[in-house]
Amino acid sequence: MRIVGYVEGYAENTLVGWAYSPDRQGERLVLLVECDGVPVAAGLANLDRQDVAAAGHGDGQCGFRIRVHLPPGQELVVREASTGTLAFSHANKAEQDDGTDGGDRPALRSDIVQGNVDNVLGTVIRGWCWQPSHPDRHVKVQAMVDGRIVAEAMANEIRGDLVNAGIGAGDHAFNLRMPYWCLDGRQRDVMVHAEGHGAIHEFAIPFLCFAGGPLSLLEQATTDANMRNPDTATAVRLLQCYLEQVQQQIPASIGFGFYPEWRAALTGTQKDDVPAAFAADRPGLNAAVQMIRQPDGAEWIAVLDQGALLYPGALSRIIDVMQTVDADIIYGDADLPVDGGLMPWFRPDWNYDLCLSQDYTRGLTLFRAALLREIGSCSSATLLRLRALLRQGPNGRIHHVPEVLSQLTRSPGPELALHARQAVLEHLHSRGADQAIVTTIDEHEGLRRVEWPSPKEPPFFSLIIPTRDRLSLVKAAVDSIEAKTVDARYEIIIIDNQSQQEETLDWLNEGQRRGRFRVIPYDAPFNFADMNNRAAEQARGTILGFINNDVELISGNWLTVAASHLERPEVGAVGARLRFSNGMIQHAGVVVGTGGLAENAFQTVHVDDTGYFHRTRVTGNYSAVTAACLFCRRSDFTILGGFDADNLPVAFNDVDFCLRLRETGALIVWTPDIELYHHESVSRGRDNTPERVARAMKEENFMRRRWKNLSMSDPHYNPNLNLDGVPFTGLALPPRHPWRIGR
């Protein structure tokens, strides 16, 4: 048997190359790897290698990746297993082959690709892929079914385990979202390829998913007849509880590109349904306002913004909601044309700070007429709607219908942005914030920055920084605070958790001697919550700032911004925009419910991008923010008992604290006007030891028990958006709210 092939390289304990027999075209060779005459590994040469076929060798299915551990310099022999025919020999050298030597070998690249498919969760195939010879490059990966590319993604996402494993800078993870047509309950075999390099795994991955989720399958299998059987009914209820937990902890989603199919499945409408025009001109708007002022006028009035079109059934749906909820204002979701398709704008429930920063309720809104009777003549529906909404204040009787009721055909534009700014200024002045400044930062999209007045008496801040050794980190954090902070009174408290390095101890002693900061010793195992609690007890400030030791300040006016928000009685905590050193966002608010727990928003977004409908550019309310940079009143922190050091010593204590603040009615404000670099978890490392894994699981289980009522219903996150992976990146399968429009 003649064998043609080539060993391209050896890296990450993997032998990579290609081999085939011209005498047995179409047959896949089983290869045996021998060292010193002893078999040490085997593999099948059946991986996709179209580059080899293009060079005139084989049929494109002759690649191999054989896992084998070889010491440096080890000679090896590769044979065809059934006949013992020598395929080739190879020395495991430190340098790469150049791929150009030898007979009829084609000139192939030497920069081999390494990767792995880690798991399949819901509709997403997750893994990593990189070129060891070019660690700064990012590889495109493709999911293939029956030789057809069905999904693509760049392997450019950061993952902590890849950092620890030395896979470049850790930014080589990928998430492949399978298309909607693959979610029909049929199993398909999927191969994941690195573009131009072939498959990154040896065996096909079975993929099976149903768009309606596991609970819908149970509903289809259950009939009224079999539910009359007590034993069957009990079994069904138990299975339903189990599937609810599965759906909560392993949520599924689909990409925004499949929104038309996703929406059609929910509403029973066709993808080409055209919304109906329903908009009054400006004189008509004023006439309507005059009409409802009459004693026998309408009880409710629907306001449709200029450029908005109603979907069939939208008015009926919002009227149905009006009859079942106790609210004065009702608004829905909308979609709008983007790049030749439709993009859904799934909004949060009433979000006061977001409304001040962005006109996020545009589309169809229903008002009690009594609310509009006190409003003067308005030049636009935008001005009318915003005046009425903002009069409700932070905790208004406002209900959100998480269903797409209208389509927006255009952005607000300069004129409507001017009207919106006017409405916001009027509202702030009515609250007594006469010195507030409202700046339009994007006229086309109608985005605003609101600068609340600073307190008449500037507060004193206590900035609390836990640390243990890692002098370069904590020194950079303190130096940046001292160098950049302007117009603020503050102290720095460093909680030292058993630092041992002499240079760290010298720096701490010298800084304390010179009055740069106070040092509080913490001679106990690491407990982030308890360390901060002890420092808070000794703090002198009226405002506490919890700051990680692995941050660096960017915004010099950060304390002024925090003080202005905490001067507002409705605000309980303020969080910051944190960015990685490579420019990617690390934190832009926390969404509760991701994987049944919580996750930072927008970690796949660059600081120069805008995120989902500009959320990374504007201030808004979230359910929680991270304590890598979190401000709150010392009095509130004391009343709530601080962080939960008993049940949440390391993780989720900041989320838990914010949720307890929210239970008191307080708002959690996230703002991009406070910005820092955050080198996440650099100082402690990852939770990968058995002890840390056990502790992390205990904390996760505690959070699921304490906040199970919020795990699927974060009011600041739309139930139509994904809860798997990074929030705001896809559509929930199924949605956590049943749609009624069109049904």
Note the pLDDT tens digit of each residue in 572-612: 999 999 999 888 899 999 999 987 789 999 987 899 999 99
C-alpha atoms less than 13 angstroms from C-alpha of 257 in its C-beta half-sphere? 10
My answer on whether 578 and 472 are in the same domain is yes
List pLDDT tens digits, range 636-679: 999 999 999 999 999 999 999 999 999 999 999 999 999 999 98
- Cα dihedral 89, 94, 99, 102, rounded to 10, equals -40
My answer on whether 568 and 613 are in the same domain is yes
My answer on whether 70 and 133 are in the same domain is no
The helix or strand, by DSSP H or E, that contains position 80, with its residue range, turns out to be strand 75-80
Task: Give the residue among 341, 339, 328, 313 at the shortest CA–CA distance from 404.
Answer: 313
Q: Which stretch of 67-81, 278-292, 567-581, 698-712 has the lowest confidence by average pLDDT?
A: 278-292
My answer on whether 130 and 71 are in the same domain is no
Report the pLDDT value the prediction gives residue 63, as an integer from 0 to 100: 87
Residue at 103 is within a domain = no
My answer on whether 473 and 542 are in the same domain is yes
Residue at 681 is within a domain = yes
Q: Report which of residues 121 and 599 the model is more confident about.
A: 599
Handedness of CA 41, 45, 46, 49 (dihedral sign): positive
Strands 329-338, 341-345: parallel, antiparallel or unpaired by DSSP?
antiparallel
Q: Report which of residues 197 and 562 the model is more confident about.
A: 562
Report the pLDDT value the prediction gives residue 742, as an integer from 0 to 100: 61
**Which residues, in sequence order, are CB contacts of 702 under 8 Å at separation 6+?**
647, 648
d(CA 651, CA 698): 10
Strands 543-547, 460-467: parallel, antiparallel or unpaired by DSSP?
parallel
| Three-state SS at 542 | coil
Task: Give the residue among 444, 675, 733, 423 at the shortest CA–CA distance from 556.
Answer: 675
| Three-state SS at 301 | strand
Checking if the pLDDT of 89 tops 70, the result is no
Report the pLDDT value the prediction gives residue 646, as an integer from 0 to 100: 96
My answer on whether 193 and 221 are in the same domain is no
In which residue are the tokens 């979609």 written?
335
d(CA 121, CA 129): 18
Residue at 664 is within a domain = yes
The answer to whether 658 and 668 are in contact (CB under 8 A) is yes
My answer on whether 424 and 493 are in the same domain is no
List pLDDT tens digits, range 337-350: 988 889 999 999 99
Question: CA 707 from chain center: how many Å?
Answer: 20
Task: Give the residue among 553, 516, 520 at the shortest CA–CA distance from 536.
Answer: 520
Place 97 in a pLDDT band, splitting at 50, 70 and 90.
Answer: very low
687 phi, psi to nearest 5 deg: -80, 75
Residue at 99 is within a domain = no
The CB-based long-range contact list for 84-90 (8 Å cut-off, 24+ gap) reads: 85/1, 85/3, 86/3, 87/3, 87/5, 87/19, 87/29, 87/31, 88/3, 88/5, 88/6, 88/7, 88/19, 90/7, 90/10, 90/15
- Mean pLDDT (whole number) for 408-424: 90
Task: Give the residue among 17, 194, 170 at the shortest CA–CA distance from 114.
Answer: 194
The answer to whether 45 and 19 are in contact (CB under 8 A) is yes
CATH number at residue 41: 2.60.40
Residue at 662 is within a domain = yes
- Mean pLDDT (whole number) for 457-484: 96
Report the pLDDT value the prediction gives residue 659, as an integer from 0 to 100: 97
Helical residues (DSSP H) of 139-212, grouped into ranges: 160-165
Place 715 in a pLDDT band, splitting at 50, 70 and 90.
Answer: very high
Report the pLDDT value the prediction gives residue 280, as an integer from 0 to 100: 43
- Mean pLDDT (whole number) for 107-122: 72
Domain span holding position 165: 114-207
pLDDT, averaged across the chain: 86
Q: Which of 241-250, 267-276, 683-692 has the highest mean pLDDT?
A: 241-250
The one-character DSSP state at 181 is G
Percent of the chain whose pLDDT exceeds 70: 88
The one-character DSSP state at 521 is E
- Mean pLDDT (whole number) for 545-563: 97
C-alpha atoms less than 13 angstroms from C-alpha of 464 in its C-beta half-sphere? 28
Place 67 in a pLDDT band, splitting at 50, 70 and 90.
Answer: confident
Report the pLDDT value the prediction gives residue 290, as an integer from 0 to 100: 53
Checking if the pLDDT of 191 tops 90, the result is yes
Which amino acid does the sequence have at 156? N
My answer on whether 388 and 409 are in the same domain is yes
Number of domains in the chain: 5
Tokens coding 442: 């994007």
Residue at 442 is within a domain = yes
Checking if the pLDDT of 291 tops 90, the result is no
My answer on whether 121 and 17 are in the same domain is no
My answer on whether 531 and 470 are in the same domain is yes
Report the pLDDT value the prediction gives residue 38, as an integer from 0 to 100: 86
Residue at 728 is within a domain = no
Report the pLDDT value the prediction gives residue 105, as an integer from 0 to 100: 38
My answer on whether 625 and 540 are in the same domain is yes
Checking if the pLDDT of 378 tops 80, the result is no
d(CA 656, CA 592): 10
Tokens coding 302: 């629907």
285 phi, psi to nearest 5 deg: -65, -45
Residue at 156 is within a domain = yes
Final residue in a domain of this structure, among 189, 207, 225 = 207
Strands 4-11, 29-35: parallel, antiparallel or unpaired by DSSP?
unpaired
**Residues forming beta bridges with residue 303, ordered by sequence position:** 365
Report the pLDDT value the prediction gives residue 275, as an integer from 0 to 100: 55
d(CA 644, CA 234): 38
Report the pLDDT value the prediction gives residue 681, as an integer from 0 to 100: 53
My answer on whether 613 and 532 are in the same domain is yes
Checking if the pLDDT of 54 tops 80, the result is no
Report the pLDDT value the prediction gives residue 269, as an integer from 0 to 100: 57
- Mean pLDDT (whole number) for 379-396: 88
Percent of the chain whose pLDDT exceeds 90: 52
List pLDDT tens digits, range 265-285: 777 654 445 454 443 434 445
- Compute and round to an integer the Cα radius of gyration of the chain: 30
Q: Report which of residues 177 and 237 the model is more confident about.
A: 177
pTM, full prediction: 0.78
Task: Give the residue among 665, 435, 674 at the shortest CA–CA distance from 570.
Answer: 665
d(CA 379, CA 282): 7
CATH number at residue 319: 3.90.550.10
